[in-house]
Amino acid sequence: MSEMQSSDMTEPSCLLPMEQPVRAALVAVGRHDPTDHGRYFLPDLWCLHLYEWHGSVDIEDQRVMVRPGALHIVSPGKRLRYQYAERSRHFVAHFDVAEGGASRSLPSIVYQHPSLVLVRDLFARAADLGAGHRHTDALLWAILWELTVQGMPDRVRDPRVLRVCQHVRRHLQEDLNVGKLAASVDLSHNQLTRLFRKELGSTVMSYIRAQRIARGKHLLTHSDMPVRDVAAEVGIDDPNRFNKVFRQLTGVSPTGFRARCSKRRGDESTVRSSQRVREEPQ
Protein backbone atom coordinates (compact mmCIF):
# COMPACT_ATOMS: atom_id res chain seq x y z
CA MET A 1 0.00 0.00 0.00
CA SER A 2 1.32 3.42 -0.86
CA GLU A 3 0.63 6.61 1.04
CA MET A 4 -0.51 4.53 4.03
CA GLN A 5 -1.92 6.74 6.77
CA SER A 6 -1.09 5.64 10.31
CA SER A 7 -3.57 6.35 13.07
CA ASP A 8 -4.78 5.28 16.48
CA MET A 9 -8.30 5.36 15.06
CA THR A 10 -10.02 4.15 11.94
CA GLU A 11 -13.62 5.26 11.29
CA PRO A 12 -14.78 7.12 14.44
CA SER A 13 -17.91 4.98 14.59
CA CYS A 14 -20.08 2.55 12.68
CA LEU A 15 -23.81 1.85 12.67
CA LEU A 16 -24.80 -1.68 13.62
CA PRO A 17 -28.40 -3.00 13.49
CA MET A 18 -29.20 -4.12 17.06
CA GLU A 19 -32.89 -5.01 16.98
CA GLN A 20 -32.17 -8.75 17.12
CA PRO A 21 -29.28 -10.90 18.39
CA VAL A 22 -26.40 -11.33 15.97
CA ARG A 23 -25.54 -14.72 14.44
CA ALA A 24 -21.98 -15.87 15.06
CA ALA A 25 -20.17 -17.53 12.15
CA LEU A 26 -16.89 -17.83 14.08
CA VAL A 27 -15.87 -17.12 17.68
CA ALA A 28 -12.37 -18.29 18.55
CA VAL A 29 -8.94 -17.54 19.98
CA GLY A 30 -6.44 -16.67 17.26
CA ARG A 31 -2.67 -17.06 17.52
CA HIS A 32 -0.01 -15.81 15.10
CA ASP A 33 3.78 -15.56 14.86
CA PRO A 34 5.59 -12.31 13.97
CA THR A 35 6.38 -13.75 10.53
CA ASP A 36 2.68 -14.21 9.73
CA HIS A 37 0.87 -11.61 7.62
CA GLY A 38 -2.83 -12.27 7.92
CA ARG A 39 -5.01 -11.07 5.07
CA TYR A 40 -8.79 -11.20 5.35
CA PHE A 41 -11.76 -10.10 3.31
CA LEU A 42 -15.25 -10.67 4.73
CA PRO A 43 -17.74 -9.42 2.14
CA ASP A 44 -20.85 -10.20 4.19
CA LEU A 45 -19.70 -10.53 7.81
CA TRP A 46 -18.82 -8.13 10.58
CA CYS A 47 -15.56 -8.69 12.44
CA LEU A 48 -14.80 -8.04 16.13
CA HIS A 49 -11.38 -8.45 17.77
CA LEU A 50 -10.11 -8.15 21.31
CA TYR A 51 -6.36 -7.79 20.85
CA GLU A 52 -3.69 -8.96 23.28
CA TRP A 53 -0.64 -7.98 21.22
CA HIS A 54 1.24 -5.04 19.72
CA GLY A 55 1.21 -4.46 15.98
CA SER A 56 -0.99 -2.91 13.34
CA VAL A 57 -3.84 -3.65 10.96
CA ASP A 58 -4.25 -2.07 7.53
CA ILE A 59 -7.88 -1.37 6.64
CA GLU A 60 -8.06 -0.38 2.98
CA ASP A 61 -5.71 2.65 2.90
CA GLN A 62 -5.46 3.32 6.64
CA ARG A 63 -3.22 1.74 9.24
CA VAL A 64 -4.54 1.32 12.78
CA MET A 65 -2.14 0.68 15.62
CA VAL A 66 -2.98 -2.27 17.86
CA ARG A 67 -2.12 -2.80 21.50
CA PRO A 68 -3.29 -5.14 24.27
CA GLY A 69 -6.86 -4.48 25.44
CA ALA A 70 -8.00 -2.82 22.20
CA LEU A 71 -11.49 -3.73 20.96
CA HIS A 72 -11.90 -3.34 17.23
CA ILE A 73 -15.03 -3.76 15.09
CA VAL A 74 -14.97 -3.69 11.28
CA SER A 75 -18.01 -3.57 8.98
CA PRO A 76 -18.38 -5.99 6.03
CA GLY A 77 -16.55 -5.50 2.75
CA LYS A 78 -13.23 -4.21 4.14
CA ARG A 79 -9.86 -5.71 3.19
CA LEU A 80 -7.74 -6.29 6.28
CA ARG A 81 -4.02 -7.01 6.59
CA TYR A 82 -2.51 -7.71 10.01
CA GLN A 83 1.14 -7.16 10.91
CA TYR A 84 2.29 -8.75 14.15
CA ALA A 85 5.22 -7.25 16.06
CA GLU A 86 5.28 -10.21 18.45
CA ARG A 87 3.72 -13.61 18.98
CA SER A 88 0.05 -12.75 19.19
CA ARG A 89 -3.07 -14.00 20.88
CA HIS A 90 -6.49 -12.47 20.43
CA PHE A 91 -10.20 -13.17 20.52
CA VAL A 92 -11.98 -12.93 17.18
CA ALA A 93 -15.64 -13.09 16.14
CA HIS A 94 -17.13 -13.04 12.65
CA PHE A 95 -20.87 -12.47 12.69
CA ASP A 96 -23.93 -11.61 10.68
CA VAL A 97 -26.70 -9.19 11.67
CA ALA A 98 -30.42 -9.03 10.92
CA GLU A 99 -31.01 -6.03 8.69
CA GLY A 100 -33.69 -3.49 9.45
CA GLY A 101 -34.85 -1.89 12.65
CA ALA A 102 -32.98 0.61 14.78
CA SER A 103 -29.19 0.78 14.56
CA ARG A 104 -26.75 1.76 17.28
CA SER A 105 -23.55 3.72 16.91
CA LEU A 106 -20.44 1.82 18.00
CA PRO A 107 -16.91 3.20 18.19
CA SER A 108 -14.77 1.40 15.62
CA ILE A 109 -11.91 0.94 18.07
CA VAL A 110 -11.67 1.38 21.84
CA TYR A 111 -8.32 1.14 23.60
CA GLN A 112 -9.45 1.09 27.23
CA HIS A 113 -13.12 0.16 27.51
CA PRO A 114 -14.57 0.71 31.01
CA SER A 115 -15.98 -2.85 31.01
CA LEU A 116 -12.91 -4.54 29.53
CA VAL A 117 -12.77 -7.25 32.21
CA LEU A 118 -16.42 -8.14 31.62
CA VAL A 119 -16.01 -8.07 27.83
CA ARG A 120 -12.96 -10.34 28.00
CA ASP A 121 -14.90 -12.82 30.15
CA LEU A 122 -17.88 -12.81 27.75
CA PHE A 123 -15.58 -13.27 24.78
CA ALA A 124 -13.79 -16.19 26.47
CA ARG A 125 -17.08 -17.93 27.25
CA ALA A 126 -18.30 -17.42 23.69
CA ALA A 127 -15.02 -18.82 22.29
CA ASP A 128 -15.32 -21.88 24.55
CA LEU A 129 -18.78 -22.58 23.13
CA GLY A 130 -17.96 -21.73 19.52
CA ALA A 131 -20.36 -20.73 16.76
CA GLY A 132 -23.64 -22.53 16.19
CA HIS A 133 -25.10 -22.02 19.67
CA ARG A 134 -27.76 -19.51 20.66
CA HIS A 135 -25.85 -18.97 23.88
CA THR A 136 -22.82 -17.89 21.84
CA ASP A 137 -24.98 -15.47 19.85
CA ALA A 138 -26.36 -14.03 23.11
CA LEU A 139 -22.87 -13.58 24.59
CA LEU A 140 -21.63 -11.83 21.46
CA TRP A 141 -24.72 -9.61 21.45
CA ALA A 142 -24.00 -8.70 25.08
CA ILE A 143 -20.46 -7.66 24.12
CA LEU A 144 -21.81 -5.41 21.37
CA TRP A 145 -24.28 -3.80 23.76
CA GLU A 146 -21.37 -3.07 26.11
CA LEU A 147 -19.62 -1.33 23.21
CA THR A 148 -22.65 0.86 22.59
CA VAL A 149 -22.43 1.93 26.24
CA GLN A 150 -26.12 1.33 26.81
CA GLY A 151 -27.84 4.25 28.46
CA MET A 152 -25.27 6.77 27.26
CA PRO A 153 -25.83 9.19 24.37
CA ASP A 154 -24.30 7.91 21.13
CA ARG A 155 -22.14 11.02 20.84
CA VAL A 156 -20.07 10.18 23.94
CA ARG A 157 -16.68 8.97 22.77
CA ASP A 158 -14.11 9.94 25.39
CA PRO A 159 -13.34 6.82 27.49
CA ARG A 160 -12.60 8.96 30.56
CA VAL A 161 -16.11 10.42 30.48
CA LEU A 162 -17.54 6.94 30.02
CA ARG A 163 -15.62 5.59 33.02
CA VAL A 164 -16.79 8.46 35.22
CA CYS A 165 -20.40 7.96 34.11
CA GLN A 166 -20.22 4.25 34.89
CA HIS A 167 -18.70 4.98 38.32
CA VAL A 168 -21.49 7.44 39.07
CA ARG A 169 -24.23 4.95 38.16
CA ARG A 170 -22.61 2.23 40.28
CA HIS A 171 -22.03 4.42 43.33
CA LEU A 172 -25.06 6.73 43.47
CA GLN A 173 -25.52 6.05 47.19
CA GLU A 174 -22.09 7.44 47.98
CA ASP A 175 -20.80 10.98 48.35
CA LEU A 176 -19.67 11.77 44.79
CA ASN A 177 -17.03 14.47 44.57
CA VAL A 178 -16.11 15.97 41.20
CA GLY A 179 -12.48 16.40 42.20
CA LYS A 180 -12.14 12.73 43.17
CA LEU A 181 -13.97 11.60 40.03
CA ALA A 182 -11.56 13.67 37.94
CA ALA A 183 -8.53 12.28 39.73
CA SER A 184 -9.74 8.72 39.10
CA VAL A 185 -9.25 9.31 35.35
CA ASP A 186 -6.09 11.43 35.72
CA LEU A 187 -7.79 14.75 35.03
CA SER A 188 -8.17 17.97 36.96
CA HIS A 189 -11.56 19.23 38.13
CA ASN A 190 -11.65 21.82 35.32
CA GLN A 191 -10.52 19.34 32.64
CA LEU A 192 -13.28 16.89 33.53
CA THR A 193 -15.84 19.70 33.61
CA ARG A 194 -14.82 20.82 30.12
CA LEU A 195 -14.94 17.24 28.80
CA PHE A 196 -18.44 16.72 30.24
CA ARG A 197 -19.68 19.90 28.60
CA LYS A 198 -18.18 18.80 25.30
CA GLU A 199 -19.50 15.21 25.44
CA LEU A 200 -22.81 15.60 27.30
CA GLY A 201 -23.58 19.29 27.22
CA SER A 202 -23.87 19.45 31.02
CA THR A 203 -21.77 19.65 34.15
CA VAL A 204 -20.67 16.62 36.15
CA MET A 205 -22.98 17.55 39.03
CA SER A 206 -25.93 17.96 36.66
CA TYR A 207 -25.30 14.45 35.36
CA ILE A 208 -25.10 13.08 38.92
CA ARG A 209 -28.37 14.79 39.89
CA ALA A 210 -30.11 13.50 36.76
CA GLN A 211 -29.00 9.93 37.48
CA ARG A 212 -30.17 10.18 41.10
CA ILE A 213 -33.57 11.48 40.15
CA ALA A 214 -33.95 8.86 37.39
CA ARG A 215 -33.31 6.09 39.89
CA GLY A 216 -35.57 7.80 42.40
CA LYS A 217 -38.40 7.83 39.86
CA HIS A 218 -37.93 4.10 39.30
CA LEU A 219 -38.09 3.37 43.03
CA LEU A 220 -41.12 5.60 43.54
CA THR A 221 -42.89 3.82 40.69
CA HIS A 222 -42.00 0.23 41.47
CA SER A 223 -41.64 0.05 45.26
CA ASP A 224 -43.44 1.16 48.39
CA MET A 225 -40.28 2.57 49.99
CA PRO A 226 -40.94 5.76 51.99
CA VAL A 227 -39.71 8.89 50.21
CA ARG A 228 -36.99 9.43 52.82
CA ASP A 229 -35.63 5.92 52.11
CA VAL A 230 -35.76 6.52 48.38
CA ALA A 231 -33.75 9.71 48.90
CA ALA A 232 -31.11 7.84 50.90
CA GLU A 233 -31.01 5.03 48.32
CA VAL A 234 -30.00 7.49 45.61
CA GLY A 235 -27.41 9.30 47.72
CA ILE A 236 -29.40 12.29 49.04
CA ASP A 237 -29.60 11.95 52.81
CA ASP A 238 -31.76 15.05 53.34
CA PRO A 239 -35.41 14.35 52.27
CA ASN A 240 -36.07 18.07 51.91
CA ARG A 241 -33.16 18.44 49.50
CA PHE A 242 -34.36 15.37 47.56
CA ASN A 243 -37.82 16.94 47.32
CA LYS A 244 -36.33 20.20 46.04
CA VAL A 245 -34.09 18.57 43.41
CA PHE A 246 -36.91 16.23 42.34
CA ARG A 247 -39.26 19.20 41.80
CA GLN A 248 -36.58 21.08 39.85
CA LEU A 249 -36.08 18.21 37.40
CA THR A 250 -39.61 16.82 37.10
CA GLY A 251 -41.93 19.70 38.00
CA VAL A 252 -43.70 17.65 40.69
CA SER A 253 -42.94 16.44 44.21
CA PRO A 254 -41.88 12.82 44.85
CA THR A 255 -45.22 12.17 46.56
CA GLY A 256 -47.13 13.71 43.66
CA PHE A 257 -45.11 11.68 41.16
CA ARG A 258 -45.89 8.44 43.01
CA ALA A 259 -49.60 9.29 43.17
CA ARG A 260 -49.64 10.02 39.44
CA CYS A 261 -47.97 6.67 38.67
CA SER A 262 -50.42 4.81 40.94
CA LYS A 263 -53.38 6.43 39.20
CA ARG A 264 -51.97 5.53 35.79
CA ARG A 265 -51.52 1.90 36.81
CA GLY A 266 -55.07 1.84 38.19
CA ASP A 267 -56.47 3.24 34.94
CA GLU A 268 -54.52 0.67 32.90
CA SER A 269 -55.76 -2.14 35.14
CA THR A 270 -59.36 -0.99 34.67
CA VAL A 271 -58.92 -0.96 30.89
CA ARG A 272 -57.46 -4.47 30.88
CA SER A 273 -60.31 -5.76 33.05
CA SER A 274 -62.88 -4.23 30.71
CA GLN A 275 -61.18 -5.83 27.72
CA ARG A 276 -61.23 -9.25 29.37
CA VAL A 277 -64.96 -8.90 30.14
CA ARG A 278 -65.71 -8.01 26.51
CA GLU A 279 -63.63 -10.96 25.26
CA GLU A 280 -65.33 -13.55 27.50
CA PRO A 281 -67.79 -15.78 25.59
CA GLN A 282 -71.44 -14.96 26.30
CATH of domain 5-148: 2.60.120.280
Residues 6+ apart with CB under 8 A from 158: 195, 198, 199
Residue 45: what pLDDT? 93
Give the model's pLDDT for residue 239. Answer: 94
Q: What angle do CA 184, 212, 226 make, to 5 degrees?
A: 135
- In this predicted structure, the answer to whether residue 86 has a pLDDT above a threshold of 90 is no
- Given pLDDT bands bounded at 50, 70 and 90, which one contains residue 271? very low
Q: What's the half-sphere exposure (Cβ side, CA atoms, 13 Å) at 22?
A: 27
pLDDT of residue 103: 80
Task: Quick: pLDDT tens for 101-132.
Answer: 778 777 788 877 777 888 999 999 999 999 99
Examine the pLDDT at 253 and tell me if it is beyond 90.
yes
Digit-coded pLDDT (tens) for 198-246: 888 889 999 999 999 999 998 898 888 899 999 999 999 999 999 999 9
Among 203, 4, 191, 29, residue whose Cα is nearest residue 120: 29
From-to residues of CATH 2.60.120.280 in the chain:
5-148
pLDDT average, residue stretch 247-266? 88
Helices (H) and strands (E) in the chain — how many of each? Answer: 9, 12
In angstroms, what CA-CA distances link 108 with 15, 16, 63?
A: 10, 11, 13
Look up the pTM and report it. Answer: 0.56
What is the C-alpha to C-alpha distance for residues 148 and 150, in angstroms, rounded to an integer?
5
State the CATH class of domain 159-261: mainly alpha
Q: Please, which pLDDT band fits residue 269 given cuts at 50, 70 and 90? A: low
Strand intervals (E) in 18-130: 23-32, 39-41, 46-51, 55-59, 62-66, 71-74, 79-84, 88-96, 103-106, 109-110
User: Looking at residues 10-37, what average pLDDT do you find?
Assistant: 80
Residues forming CATH 1.10.10.60 domain(s) in the chain: 159-261
pLDDT of residue 277: 45
